[in-house]
């Protein structure tokens, strides 16, 4: 435990240096109509988390084999995100690299495995795994819209993953989650300081890819339904935000292809609508953290349950997100400048 604390302290200190470098090189996130901040903010926060995670893996050398394939793919994701933060990259190129990184992980044996053996079963497993990795990676990028939201969510996600992994006698992978948790914990205060620093695309996609891969690598339960339900619950908020926002954008004709989906940026995510409803940005962050924490508790309690109980738990989560969907619709109306008139 002492060494993971070193990781957190290291990230906290390195973040000051990274912020100075970002300002010196003008690697900043500039204000725009689709962003909330009003002043340029340093990027490269993801580099500090990455360096901290790398330090943790080096300190705990026995974990390197466990995480090598995942770390290789995640490193590729971070490098491309870093270039995108500095000079910008096309959505097509980012999608290709995310696919390659995902195939590296899949090629290393990290993928879903619940279809019957055979060509069709293997094809479906690879396809669904690919969709999962690319989807969650970008979902975390979308979640990074308010100070501390993505980083704090990653802390909660990593906590629940590590807890279940230790309970299920998978300490090496559990330690990886703890290293990621403390790396994020060391960075989180910098999201709230006056001289703040953002994760950047490099940081948010790195966290998303790591968490999506850990969800595949862990042995969460014996039953296939429970095995699927636990990661979905723990990562429920970014998954919901991505799916709901995508449906709305397709319905309104804003996106028609995967590339347009990756390219499109706007203030139409769950956290934005909570602010439109009247919550402060910090209040919206704590609201989403609370939902994430509650879903994680459900995941922990679900691990020894049977398939039908897993289905009921997912149904319960669906009801929660349906209520959130109603809040989003109300937020959209408020954003548009009109409110429903009570006929009574």
User: Where along the chain do its domains lie?
Assistant: 2-335
Indicate if the alpha-carbon torsion angle 187, 191, 192, 193 is positive or negative: positive
In degrees and rounded to multiples of 5, residue 194 shows phi and psi of: -60, -40
Whole-number pLDDT of residue 338 = 43
Global pTM value: 0.89
Whole-number pLDDT of residue 341 = 39
Bridge partners (DSSP) of residue 197 are 42
In degrees and rounded to multiples of 5, residue 288 shows phi and psi of: -70, -40
Closest CA to 218 of 163, 289, 152, 294: 163
Whole-number pLDDT of residue 342 = 40
Whole-number pLDDT of residue 163 = 95
Structure tokens given for 301: 């309690």
Mean pLDDT, the chain, whole residue set: 86
**Do residues 227 and 164 lie in contact, with contact meaning Cβ atoms separated by under 8 Å?**
no
Distance CA 21, CA 43 (A): 10
Question: Tens digit of pLDDT per residue, the chain (344 long)?
Answer: 678 899 999 999 999 999 888 888 888 877 665 555 567 788 888 999 999 999 998 888 776 776 889 999 999 999 999 999 888 888 889 999 999 999 999 999 888 887 777 778 889 999 999 999 999 999 999 888 888 999 999 999 999 999 999 999 998 899 999 999 999 999 999 988 777 888 989 999 999 999 999 999 988 888 888 888 899 999 999 998 888 888 888 887 787 778 777 777 777 777 877 887 788 889 999 999 999 999 999 898 888 777 878 888 888 888 888 888 787 777 667 666 544 434 33
Whole-number pLDDT of residue 34 = 57
Whole-number pLDDT of residue 211 = 97
142: Cβ–Cβ under 8 A, 6 or more apart, which residues? Answer: 238, 241, 242, 245, 269
**Do residues 186 and 52 lie in contact, with contact meaning Cβ atoms separated by under 8 Å?**
yes
Distance CA 308, CA 314 (A): 10
**Separation in Å, CA 148 to CA 26, 55, 151, 196:** 22, 23, 5, 10
**pLDDT one-digit tens code per residue, 3-61:** 889 999 999 999 999 988 888 888 887 766 555 556 778 888 899 999 999 999 888 87
Whole-number pLDDT of residue 272 = 78
Whole-number pLDDT of residue 195 = 76
DSSP 113-156: --SPSSHHHHHHHHHHHHHHHHHHHHHHHHHTTSTTHHHHHHHH
Whole-number pLDDT of residue 105 = 94
167: Cβ–Cβ under 8 A, 6 or more apart, which residues? Answer: 303
**Do residues 144 and 81 lie in contact, with contact meaning Cβ atoms separated by under 8 Å?**
no
Distance CA 298, CA 318 (A): 13
Closest CA to 327 of 264, 283, 278: 278
Q: What is the distance of C-alpha 76 from the center of its chain?
A: 16
Q: Are strands 41-42 and 28-29 parallel, antiparallel or unpaired?
A: antiparallel
Distance CA 27, CA 198 (A): 11
**Do residues 168 and 303 lie in contact, with contact meaning Cβ atoms separated by under 8 Å?**
yes
């Amino acid at each position: 435990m002492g060494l993971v604390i070193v990781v957190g302290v290291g990230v906290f200190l390195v973040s000051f240096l990274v912020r100075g470098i970002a300002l010196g090189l003008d690697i900043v996130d500039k204000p725009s109509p689709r962003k909330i901040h009003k002043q340029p903010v340093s990027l490269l926060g993801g580099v500090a988390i990455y360096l901290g995670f790398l330090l943790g893996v080096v300190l705990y050398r026995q974990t390197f084999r466990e995480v090598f394939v995942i770390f290789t793919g995640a490193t590729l994701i971070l490098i491309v995100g870093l270039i995108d933060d500095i000079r910008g990259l096309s959505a097509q190129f980012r999608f290709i690299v995310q696919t390659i990184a995902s195939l590296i992980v899949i090629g290393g044996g990290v993928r879903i495995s619940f279809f019957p053996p055979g060509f069709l079963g293997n094809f479906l497993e690879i396809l669904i795994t690919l969709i999962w990795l690319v989807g969650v990676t970008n979902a975390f990028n979308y979640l990074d819209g308010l100070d501390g939201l993505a980083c704090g969510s990653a802390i909660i996600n990593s906590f629940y993953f590590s807890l279940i992994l230790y309970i299920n006698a998978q300490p090496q992978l559990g330690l990886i989650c703890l290293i990621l948790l403390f790396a994020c914990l060391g960075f989180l205060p910098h999201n709230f300081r006056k001289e703040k620093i953002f994760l950047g695309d490099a940081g948010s996609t790195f966290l998303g890819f790591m968490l999506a891969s850990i969800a595949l690598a862990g042995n969460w339960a014996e039953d296939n339904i429970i095995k699927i339900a636990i990661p979905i619950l723990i990562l429920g908020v970014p998954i919901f935000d991505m799916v709901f926002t995508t449906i709305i954008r397709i319905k309104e004709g804003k996106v028609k292809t995967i590339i347009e989906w990756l390219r499109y940026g706007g203030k139409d995510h769950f956290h934005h609508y909570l602010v439109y409803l009247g919550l402060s940005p910090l209040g919206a962050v704590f609201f989403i953290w609370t939902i994430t924490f509650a879903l994680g508790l459900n995941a922990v309690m679900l691990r020894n349950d049977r398939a039908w109980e897993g289905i009921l738990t997912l149904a319960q989560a669906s009801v929660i997100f349906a209520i959130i969907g109603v809040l989003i619709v109300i937020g959209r109306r408020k954003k548009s400048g009109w409110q429903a008139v009570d006929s009574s």
